[in-house]
């Protein structure tokens, strides 16, 4: 799962380019171009959060939550934790509260990277940042990713699981 990181291919898809740069012009080409623009992939980036468990006896990282950043604008972020992690959830909520208090209207580009790099390994670990086009909303992505680590049997039935 290394297709995240430095992939900055956020330009227009080639099909759209071909259509808009076509030499003949023509309104059907513009219509097609508009249509393709409406179908541009909806990219989300997420990272799993792990908690350090049994630090003294049998230390290990256990997945407890996920942060999902949408394309924005605004504070387009969802931080969702499995049941039993209320304190961590509260801390994450405070990250957002502080942004709001500081009148920050949209997330910095390196928001996930920053919080990944600054987490204390004695508290937990945030995993690789994954880019995905499999979900329609950050909420859907968070629910699906978390369901993989839930105690409950079964799995979320969203399209991304096929």
Q: Which residues bind Zn ion (CB under 5 A)?
A: 144, 156, 158, 160-161
Cβ 75 to Zn ion, closest distance in Å?
A: 24
Confirm if 44 and 132 have CB atoms less than 8 A apart: yes
Q: Which residue, 125 or 158, has its beta carbon nearer to Zn ion?
A: 158
Q: Which residue, 15 or 157, has its beta carbon nearer to Zn ion?
A: 157
Q: Which residue, 12 or 157, has its beta carbon nearer to Zn ion?
A: 157
Residues 6+ positions from 45 with CB-CB distance below 8 Å: 4, 68, 69, 112, 129, 130, 131, 132
Angle at 93 between CA 134 and CA 155, to 5 degrees: 35
Cβ 43 to Zn ion, closest distance in Å?
A: 17
CA dist 2 and 68 (Å) reads: 17
Q: Which residue, 20 or 137, has its beta carbon nearer to Zn ion?
A: 137
Cβ 161 to Zn ion, closest distance in Å?
A: 4
Residues 6+ positions from 51 with CB-CB distance below 8 Å: 61, 62, 64, 85, 88, 123, 124
Cβ 152 to Zn ion, closest distance in Å?
A: 13
Question: Closest residue (Cβ) to Zn ion?
Answer: 144
């Amino acid at each position: 799962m290394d297709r995240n990181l430095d992939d900055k291919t956020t330009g227009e898809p080639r099909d759209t380019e071909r259509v808009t740069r076509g030499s003949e012009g023509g309104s059907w080409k513009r219509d097609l171009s508009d249509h393709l623009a409406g179908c541009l992939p909806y990219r989300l980036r997420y990272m799993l959060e792990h908690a350090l468990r049994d630090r003294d006896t049998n230390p290990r990282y256990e997945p407890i939550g996920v942060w999902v950043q949408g394309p924005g604008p605004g504070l387009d972020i969802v931080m969702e934790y499995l049941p039993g992690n209320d304190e961590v959830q509260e801390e994450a909520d405070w990250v957002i509260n502080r942004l709001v208090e500081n009148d920050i209207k949209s997330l910095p580009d390196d928001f996930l990277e920053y919080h990944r790099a600054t987490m204390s390994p004695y508290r937990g670990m945030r995993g690789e940042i994954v880019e995905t086009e499999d979900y329609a909303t950050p909420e859907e992505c968070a629910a699906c990713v978390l369901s993989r680590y839930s105690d409950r049997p079964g799995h979320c039935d969203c399209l991304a699981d096929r």
